[in-house]
Structure formats: structure tokens, C-alpha cells
Chain A
Amino acid sequence: MNWQAFWLTMRLATVVTLLLGILSLPLACWLAFSRWRWKFLVEALVALPIVLPPTVLGFYVLIALGRESPLGRWWQSLTGHTLAFTFESLVIGSVLYSLPFAVQPFASSFAAVDRRLLAASAVLGRSGFYAFWKIIIPLSVPGLVTGVALAFAHTVGEFGVVLMVGGNIPGVTRTLSIDIYDQVQSLDYVAANSTALVLAVIAFVLLSLVYSLNRRYRRLWPRPFPM
């Protein structure tokens, strides 16, 4: 078991999940409530990583972060080293790659909040921002838990994007999934087997957590109005 790769993977997934939690709230809110006619284009863009080969996404991210790009040059002038093949580049690539897994559950649970409750809030003199924190967020807890857990699990399990933008630098960009690849390449099937098992268990535990939490939450708030 490569503990260095394990902790790197956990650190990456945690950072990415935190960033996604923050980014996805306003984005999901906009997707759920905006009446802009071209909204579907943004929806499609957000969902793109689900269907795109990770190598395609990774390739574009690599180009965007590279020494030739404005972002890459800005980063270099700021920090003195390049952005590609660093932990930060992994974070950026992973945020983009896992975005739909957070945004979609968030947005669909926001959209499922009864509009009459939001109307009641407005009639009572409260702003949309107040209603967001007091009504929408508390009533969307199952969706928020699902989004956060899926984003985390998906980041733990990613391979293609990491390989494209991060390379394979021990302690910096070598995550568990890359480690398995390495172990198989060097015909170390025993090590590959144990790493694969760790990843499978993490994914299973996270998903079980999501489903059990959602079930308990539903019992906590039974459908209040049978009318």
C-alpha cells in the first residue's frame, strides 16, 4: 500500500470537494431558478465531463494551464514555477471533471423546493438571499449530501485527467489510481490488488453513507401536507 499516494488522493479529494461545494451553490441556484432562454447551453456545458473522455478534458486543461497560455504565464509570474504538473493543476482539472457530480444533485434538489414556500417567504417581506439560506438550503440537505459525496468519490477515482495534467510525480501528482496503473505496468499484481481494493471500499462506503443518510432524512421530514 502506497500511503503517500493514499494521503495525496485524500488531500486532493478534500480540497476539490470544498471548492466544488462553494462553487456549485451559486451555479446550481442559478441553474434551478434562472429563466434565461439559453440556460440549456450552460446545463450542457456543466454536464460535459460526464460524457467526455477524461483525456479530452485533461488535454484542454493542460493546454489552458501550460506555459503558453495566459493563465499559465500569470501563474508563473506569481509563483515562479509552472502550473502544469503540480498539485494545483490537479485541483483545477478535478474541479472541472467532478463539477456535474456536485452541481446536478444540488440543482435538482433546489428546483424541487415548493415554489409556494418561496412565494410565502417573499410575501412575508424576506429577500431571495434570506430564503436561500433559510428555506432552500435546509430543504435540500439530501441533495447537498449526495452532491458532496459524489464529488468526493468521483475525485478519488479519477485517472485520465490526473494523468494528462499531473503526470506521475510521487508525492505531488501520483494518486492511487495512477499508482495501480504503475503497479500493473511493473507486473506487481499483489500491490495493484490491494490498492484497487482500497479504492473500491472507499467508493462503496461513501455511496452507502449517501443512501443511508438520505433514507434517514426522508423519515425525519415525512411529507407534511397530504392535501
Chain B
Amino acid sequence: MASTIPNVTAETQRIAPAKLDVSIRARIPTQGALFELDVDFVVENGITILFGASGAGKTTVLDSIAGLRTPERGRIAVGKRALFDYERGIDVPVKARKIGYVFQDLALFPHLSVEANIGYGLGATSSEERAHRVAHMMHSLDIFGLCHRHPGELSGGERQRVALARALVVEPAVLLLDEPLAALDLPVRMKIADDLRRSIQKQPIPVIYVTHSRDEVFMLGERLLVLENGRLIAQGTPQEVMSAPQTETVAQLAGFENIFDAVVDSVHLERGTMSCRIGASSVELETPLVPVRIGSTMRVGISAGDVLLSTYAPAGLSARNILPGRLLSLSQRDAIVVAKVDCGVEFSVHLTMSARDSLQLKPERQVWLIVKTHSCHLLDKRSG
């Protein structure tokens, strides 16, 4: 099989979907220190999210797959086709790898029209075939009207679509997306995410989608890889990884805005719960039961979106944790209002703008926070 020839016609190019196999080690000298990357994972067809803080090594992973960076050792393969194999001395050149890569800064060619940008990678095809495929791709991503414009004349969302079209039109074996939507507003982001998902369904290939946005993880991901300091610390479906975060890093990344040290006060075996006291305060929380001894220290993570806020003392609720407190501040982030509340320890609570307005919330106001037992996630302190 002549699998190393990059320019194949559209008919033969529909290669059987193959999974991407990555097992690499790399050492990258960064300012003063040596960054070590050591990962081993398989990406099936569909979107896999690669999640991690900046500096965790996400872009290094993508660059290695694309061939822009040579790992120290290991193996990268798409199906049976090895792109890199240290043992066998294989290192397929970048231009022959058939990888679609949308860079973080997009790297659109500033002097070429949208049409020419998208058609750039269509090599050994006739000019009609080329025009046809470019037009088709522009239609399916809803950017046909931009045809003759230049990247400098496009909005952020439009540029994003052009970059996506340019990567997809060559029908790559794998698609890599490096924080492609980071710079966009939420509505544009959701629309493009939808288009992306549709394109992938039409052309089922392994997709690695790098992000550090929690919304995008749940919006797009079928699988999730969590990278920290060059190592994979968790993988699974987003629900599995995010809803039961085992480590504090995952928890912080997953959006537990409230993370406290808590001491186990008492255990209620029959009810499957336990009571914990937060730090040095007198705040008591009822949490799900885990096998620990009374007196041991745990970390508790609570998502700011899981906390309810009330302006009078609530009664008759199923929630076990009702904490009186004082509103410290209100600030706005996109459509979310972040309220800081002092209950002995400081809590972050996410509200809608209409909730803020109808409750007439102001700093210094007395409020009550309501937290369900199962919204208190117990975290492993190991990596803290």
C-alpha cells in the first residue's frame, strides 16, 4: 500500500477510519528548567478533548503528532501507518503525514484570499476539482460569501471557520485543534462547535481538541484526556472524569471554584454521609461518605454553579447544608454574576443577571447558601 504518497484523489482518499496511537517521550528545555513530556494514549474516531492548564504540554503533544517537533523516543501511528517510530527509525516528514492542524493563532496566509487559503493544500487535483472542493467546504461551513476577502478583513469567528475549512478540505487522517475557539464569544463558539461536530460526523476521523475551557469539554468531547506537567493524570468520558474528580488539579480545571481543607468530624454510616468542618472555621458541611477516619483532613470541592443563594433563611429544603453568610462582592463574567460570600470561609457562587436584579443583591447583605450533600466532592489531596 502506497500510504506515504500525500496527494491522492478524493475517491481513494477516503481511507478507512483509523485510530491514532500516541506513545511518546520528549524533553524540552524551557526557561532554565527541562520540561518532560511522557504520554501514552489512543484516540478513536470522534472528538477527544485534551485538557490542561497552560504549560501542561498540550501544544507539544500536537506538534509532535504533526511532525513539527521530534520526540525523544516512542511511537506515533495512525492505524497501521507509523508516523514516528524511534525503534524502527521512522520519522515521516511533516508534509507527508496527512494531518489537519488548526493552530492556536490559526496561521492563515495573510496575503491570500479566503478561497486561496482553503485551497492551499489541494495539490495534485485538477483546478475544477479543486474549486469544487473548496466551494463545497465553504458552503458547509457557511463562509461562501467570504470567498474573495483576505484574513485581515474577517471577524474572529470567520477566521476560525476558514482555518477549519483549510484543514478539513484535504481530508486529513487526523485533525488537531489547538484551542480553536478560545478567542471567541460564547454564542459564536457554540455555533462553530456545532459545525465542527457536524463536519466530523461526515468525515469520521480521530480529532484531538485542546482546550482549557470547561464549557467546550462538555459541549464537544466524547472522550477526555487530562494533561498535567507533561503527564496524563486522568482519562475517560467527560462525565466520568469531571463529575468524580480524583485529584485537585482535575477539580480546579473542572471548575470547582470552591476548594476547602476539611476535617472529618463524624461519620454516619447508616445514612452514607459524614460531617466535615471547613479549615479553622466553625462551618460544618455534610458530604458523601468515603472510607476515612474521624479527624483526618480531606479536600472538598464545590462548583460555584451548584450553590444556591437565598435572601432569607430557607426552610423545608432537602439540601442538608444551609450556611448563613454575608455578601462580600458581586462581579460579572460574560453572562455569569460571581458572588463572593463570607460564611466563615469565602464561597464563590454563580448567579444569573436576572437573579441578581430580582433579589436586589448588594454587598453587606445577609444571605444563606444552600449546598446539596452530593454537590460536595471529596478530592484526593495527593497532587495538591
A interface residue numbers (CB < 8 A to B): 114, 116-117, 119-127, 134-135, 138-139, 221-225, 227
Which residues of B have CB within 8 Å of A126? 95, 120-121, 123
Residue of chain B at shortest CB distance from A124? B121
Residue of chain A at shortest CB distance from B66? A123
Q: Is the CB of A124 within 8 A of B151?
A: no
- Minimum-distance CB pairs A-B, first 3: A124-B121, A224-B152, A122-B94
- List 29 interface pairs A-B (beta carbons < 8 Å), by A numbering: A117-B109, A119-B68, A120-B101, A120-B109, A122-B68, A122-B93, A122-B95, A123-B68, A123-B94, A123-B100, A124-B121, A125-B7, A125-B121, A125-B123, A125-B170, A126-B95, A126-B121, A126-B123, A127-B95, A134-B120, A221-B110, A221-B152, A224-B110, A224-B151, A225-B105, A225-B106, A225-B110, A227-B105, A227-B183
Which residues of A have CB within 8 Å of B94? 119, 122-123
The docked-state distance in angstroms from the alpha carbon of A42 to that of B142 is: 51
List B residues 90-142 near A (Cβ within 8 Å): 93-101, 103, 105-112, 120-121, 123
Provide the main secondary structure of the chain B interface: loop
Which residues of A have CB within 8 Å of B189? none
Which residues of A have CB within 8 Å of B68? 119, 122-123
Q: Is the CB of A116 within 8 A of B111?
A: no
Q: Is the CB of B95 within 8 A of A125?
A: yes
Least CB distance from B252 to A in Å reads 26
Most buried by B among A124, A134, A139, A224: A124
Which residues of B have CB within 8 Å of A225? 105-106, 110, 151
Q: Is the CB of B152 within 8 A of A123?
A: no
Which residues of A have CB within 8 Å of B7? 125
Residue of chain A at shortest CB distance from B120? A124
Which residues of B have CB within 8 Å of A224? 108, 110, 150-152
Is B166 an interface residue when CB atoms closer than 8 A count as contact? Answer: yes
Contact for A116 among B107, B112, B151, CB less than 8 A: B107
Q: Is the CB of A121 within 8 A of B120?
A: yes
Most buried by A among B94, B103, B121: B94
Which residues of A have CB within 8 Å of B96? 125
Contact for A139 among B67, B105, B110, B123, CB less than 8 A: B110
Which residues of A have CB within 8 Å of B120? 121, 124, 126, 134
Least CB distance from B13 to A in Å reads 12
Q: Is the CB of A221 within 8 A of B111?
A: yes
Which residues of B have CB within 8 Å of A117? 107, 109
Is B6 an interface residue when CB atoms closer than 8 A count as contact? Answer: yes
Residue of chain B at shortest CB distance from A135? B109
Contact for A114 among B107, B121, B150, CB less than 8 A: B107
Residue of chain B at shortest CB distance from A118? B107
